[in-house]
Every structure is written in structure tokens, then in C-alpha cells.
């Protein structure tokens, strides 16, 4: 018997190895994406010649991730998680290479194309959290999913700090200094793809299917026909009240988070710089404003990922619905703290930290509930639909938040966003009170 066949006979051993591999790949790809998040806007301004395009990289990356979510889910459904995840990571590596080429050729269009391919890597990273629960026991699904999410924290923190070493590497390779950090991106994404391609055997999704069908773990990897479409995914969600609530929880949380986060730097710049009438603290210069903005966003990102294991533990121990309610309750507190504390940088920062914590709790619990609330044959498609709608909600939130900020101000934006969080909170509390709890 080969090692793979022997391992496949013990699903929980495969599961432990799968979570470790997925977490390691998330760490590596997080380092790989760090340069894009840190200097993407600088490249956009430099190559386009206009500050109006500063947000174009983030926008293209987000939209590409949303568009790619379902095709990658179809690929996983047809060929397994390994092929789907590796394809997304290799596409992201190509995107990093295109960005290096864009700097060398001074081409803004190549930069946008590179960002679009990097979006496929973002979609693959999102789907990795679902791969973590394919073989997980019901009482450990939240823990497994949150462990993979948490691994992003290390890469997200380490990535931006590689900018200066990356510039040195770029100089050594004869590249423009600003392109150097993307050499680390290429290396991180290539290592992540190689790790999953070599190590993710047997494939957790294919093994889960065989076990669900009562087949031998050593059997062949024949797959069911691909059925994944948005319509079939939404049909599967509509057939399950728990899946409907789970989908609403993750989509609403993402929309609220992106809407508030994307406008907070602008609000803090006006607040600290004193350039907006009615704001206080106008004695601080623009350098101080940038420092405060950087600290606030860093703490927000830490809130999004650093406590993921806690939310996974609560998801398993307290319940999926209860943790969803807690997450949206935190979102509600966050928008009130930031909104009513709009004139105090400390309160705005506290609101952004709570915003990250609420997003994390709602996303982990909602994703866990979604994964177990639909039939095995529909699961991957539904997960792809979920990621597509999350990306769409983020894009809509980011696009409309600027209009709302100009129309009703920062406090009004926060209060308007509270409606989504409040609605899901009521639904989750009502469902929990009726005893509609996830399987244990």
C-alpha cells in the first residue's frame, strides 16, 4: 500500500494535514500579496499620472476575485480542491509577474491586468477556508476554518515589511526599486502553489465525497458532473433556511466592513488635519494624520484576523447562530462607536477595531454554517456563490460609501450601515430562539 492510500484510510489524519497545508499556503500567499496592498496605489498613480486612479488596483483586484469565485468553485467541483486552489495561486503569480513587467514597461494597462490576475489568488485564498472543513468533524468545523483564516494574519503583517528588502532584491536583479517587492510576491505564491500541489493528496473534497457515498477511500477519483451555476447555487440556498441566514450573515458583514473601512482614512485625514468644518484637532500636520491612519487600519486588520481561533472556538462551543449574532452585534456597536465618536480619533480607531472583530466572527460562523447547511453535491457551488456575493457586496459598499459620505457625512454613513447589521442580528437571534441550531 502506498503512503497516500494508508493516510486516506484515516480521514482525520488527512484533515489535520490538510489544515496545516492550507494554513502554510495562506501564510506564503499572504506574504506574496503584501506588496500589492502596500504599494499598489503608489504604482497606480505613478503609471497613470493621476491620483484619481489611486484606488484602481484595489477595485480591480476585488472585482476580479468576485468574478473568479464561481469558476474556481466549478473547477474544484470537477477536479478537486487541489486543482482549484493551485490554479488560483498560479494565476496570482502570473499577476505579480505582470506587475513587474508593467513597471519595467511603464504600462498602466499591464498593471491593471496584473491586479486582475492577483484577484484570482484572492478568490483561491477565500475558498481555502472552505477546503478546511471538507473532512472536519462537525464539532471542529469552526476551529478548522478559523485556523486557516488566522494564518493570513502572519502573511498580512510580514508582507508590507518586506518592501525595503524587496527593493534591494529588485536592484540586485536590475529591476526598478518599486518593482522589487513583487519578486517576493512571485516567490511566495509559487511556494504556496507548489506546497498544495505536492502535499494536498488525497484531495479533501474528493475524499469527503467518497466517504459520503460509502466508497473505499482507496477508490478512484471519479467525480460527479459539474452543475455549478449561480442559479443552482441560489436554488440550493433557498432550500435551506440556515443556509439563507448564513449567506446573509457573511454578505452583510462584508458590505458593512468595506463601506466603513474604505472611508475611514479620508475621514481621519479631514479630522486630524482639520480641513473639514466642524472637525476638531486641526493643529496636527499631515504627517501625523498618515501615522494615525496607518495605525488605525493596521489595528482594524488585526481585528479581522488575529482572533480568528477564538471565533472558531465559539462557533463550535456556543453555536453557529449565536456567534453570528455576536459578530453582527459587534458590527452594530462598531458603527455606533465610530459614528457617534466621529470627532475623536481614539473612538474612530476603537470603532474600526470592533468592525474587524465583528466581521471576523460573522464570517467564520457564517461560513461554517453555510458549509454544513446544504447537500454535499451543492456545497462547492454554494461556497462559490457566497464568495461571489461577498465580493459584490464589498464592491457596492466601497462604491456607495463615498457618495454616502458626501451626502450624509461619516456619522450618517455609519448609521446607514447599521441597518444591515441590525437586520442579520435580529434574524440570528430569532433563529436561535426557535431552536434552529446547526448540526452538532
Judge if 3-210 and 232-433 fold alike in CATH terms: yes
The domain limits of the chain are 3-210, 232-433
| Residue 382, pLDDT above cutoff 70 | yes
Report the pLDDT value the prediction gives residue 34, as an integer from 0 to 100. 61
* pLDDT for the residue 355: 97
DSSP H or E stretch at residue 208? helix 204-212
Nearest to 27 by CA among 201, 157, 183, 203: 157
CA pair distance 357, 340, nearest whole angstrom: 19
Provide the CB-side half-sphere exposure for 271 (13 A, CA).
23
**Residue written as grid cell 489595528:** 299
Query: In which residue are the cell numbers 505582470 written?
Result: 98
Give the pTM: 0.81
User: For 234-289, what is each residue's pLDDT tens digit?
Assistant: 899 999 999 999 999 999 999 999 889 888 888 888 888 764 444 444 434 556 77
CA angle 381, 384, 385 (to 5 degrees): 90
Distance CA 93, CA 100 (A): 11
Is 302 a residue whose pLDDT tops 50?
yes
pLDDT given for residue 54 in this prediction: 63
Distances (CA, A) of 251 to 62, 223, 256, 294: 14, 30, 9, 26
Site of grid cell 430562539: 433
- State phi, psi for 144 to the nearest 5 degrees: -65, -45
pLDDT number for residue 35: 62
Ranking 74-78, 84-88, 159-163 by mean pLDDT, the lowest is: 159-163
Alpha-helix residue ranges (DSSP H) falling in 283-375: 286-305, 308-317, 320-340, 345-372
* pLDDT number for residue 62: 83
HEC string for 33-62: HHHHHHHHHHHHHHHHCCHHHCCHHHHHHH
Average pLDDT for 304-322: 94
Range 3-210 has CATH code 2.40.50.140: no
State how far the Cα of 143 lies from the Cα of 313, in Å rounded to an integer: 6
Task: Give tens-digit pLDDT for 20-54.
Answer: 999 999 988 877 666 665 577 678 878 888 766 76
Task: Find the radius of gyration of the CA atoms of the chain.
Answer: 22
Q: In the Cβ-directed half-sphere of 140, how many Cα atoms lie within 13 Å?
A: 12
Q: Taken in order 358, 360, 363, 367, is the CA torsion positive or negative?
A: negative
Q: Which of 86-90, 175-179, 198-202 shows the lowest per-residue confidence on average (mean pLDDT)? A: 175-179
Dist CA 61 CA 421 (whole Å): 25
The CATH number of 232-433 is: 1.20.1250.20
Percent of the chain scoring above 70 in pLDDT: 85
Taking all residues of the chain, what is their mean pLDDT, rounded to a whole number? 85
Give the DSSP letter string of 293-315: HHHHHHHHHHHHHTTHHHHHHHH
Amino acid at each position: 500500500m502506498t503512503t497516500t492510500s494508508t493516510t486516506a484510510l484515516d480521514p482525520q489524519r488527512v484533515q489535520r494535514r490538510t489544515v496545516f497545508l492550507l494554513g502554510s499556503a495562506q501564510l506564503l500567499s499572504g506574504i506574496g500579496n503584501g506588496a500589492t496592498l502596500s504599494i499598489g496605489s503608489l504604482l497606480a498613480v505613478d503609471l497613470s499620472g493621476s491620483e484619481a486612479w489611486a484606488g484602481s488596483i484595489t477595485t480591480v483586484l476585488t472585482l476580479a476575485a468576485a468574478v473568479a469565485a464561481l469558476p474556481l468553485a466549478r473547477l474544484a467541483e470537477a477536479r478537486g480542491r487541489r486543482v482549484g486552489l493551485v490554479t488560483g495561486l498560479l494565476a496570482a503569480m502570473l499577476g505579480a509577474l505582470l506587475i513587474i513587467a508593467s513597471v519595467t514597461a511603464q504600462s498602466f494597462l499591464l498593471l491593471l491586468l496584473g491586479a486582475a490576475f492577483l484577484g484570482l489568488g484572492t478568490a483561491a485564498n477565500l475558498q481555502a477556508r472552505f477546503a478546511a472543513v471538507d473532512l472536519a468533524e462537525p464539532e471542529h468545523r469552526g476551529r478548522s476554518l478559523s485556523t486557516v483564516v488566522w494564518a493570513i494574519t502572519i502573511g498580512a503583517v510580514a508582507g508590507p515589511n518586506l518592501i525595503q528588502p524587496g527593493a534591494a532584491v529588485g536592484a540586485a536583479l536590475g529591476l526598478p526599486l518599486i518593482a522589487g517587492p513583487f519578486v517576493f510576491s512571485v516567490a511566495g505564491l509559487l511556494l504556496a502553489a507548489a506546497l498544495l500541489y505536492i502535499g494536498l493528496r488525497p484531495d479533501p473534497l474528493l475524499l469527503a465525497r467518497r466517504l459520503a457515498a460509502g466508497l473505499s477511500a482507496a477508490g478512484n477519483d471519479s467525480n460527479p458532473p459539474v452543475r455549478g451555476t449561480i442559479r443552482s447555487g441560489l436554488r440550493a440556498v433557498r432550500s435551506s433556511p440556515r443556509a439563507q441566514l448564513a449567506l446573509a450573515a457573511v454578505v452583510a458583514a462584508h458590505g458593512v466592513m468595506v463601506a466603513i473601512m474604505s472611508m475611514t482614512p479620508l475621514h481621519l485625514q479631514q479630522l486630524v488635519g482639520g480641513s473639514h468644518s466642524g472637525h476638531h484637532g486641526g493643529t496636527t500636520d499631515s504627517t501625523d494624520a498618515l501615522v494615525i491612519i496607518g495605525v488605525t487600519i493596521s489595528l482594524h486588520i488585526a481585528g479581522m484576523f488575529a482572533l480568528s481561533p477564538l471565533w472558531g472556538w465559539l462557533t463550535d462551543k456556543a453555536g453557529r447562530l449565536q456567534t453570528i449574532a455576536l459578530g453582527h452585534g459587534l458590527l452594530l456597536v462598531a458603527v455606533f462607536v465610530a459614528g457617534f465618536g466621529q470627532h475623536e480619533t481614539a473612538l474612530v480607531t476603537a470603532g474600526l477595531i470592533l468592525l474587524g472583530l465583528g466581521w471576523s466572527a460573522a464570517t467564520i460562523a457564517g461560513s461554517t454554517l453555510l458549509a454544513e447547511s446544504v447537500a454535499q453535491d451543492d456545497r462547492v457551488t454554494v461556497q462559490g456563490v457566497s464568495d461571489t456575493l461577498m465580493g459584490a457586496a464589498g464592491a457596492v459598499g466601497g462604491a456607495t460609501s463615498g457618495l454616502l459620505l458626501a451626502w450624509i457625512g461619516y456619522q450618517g454613513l455609519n448609521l446607514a450601515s447599521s441597518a444591515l447589521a441590525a437586520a442579520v442580528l435580529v434574524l440570528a437571534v430569532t433563529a436561535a430562539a426557535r431552536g434552529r441550531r446547526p448540526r452538532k
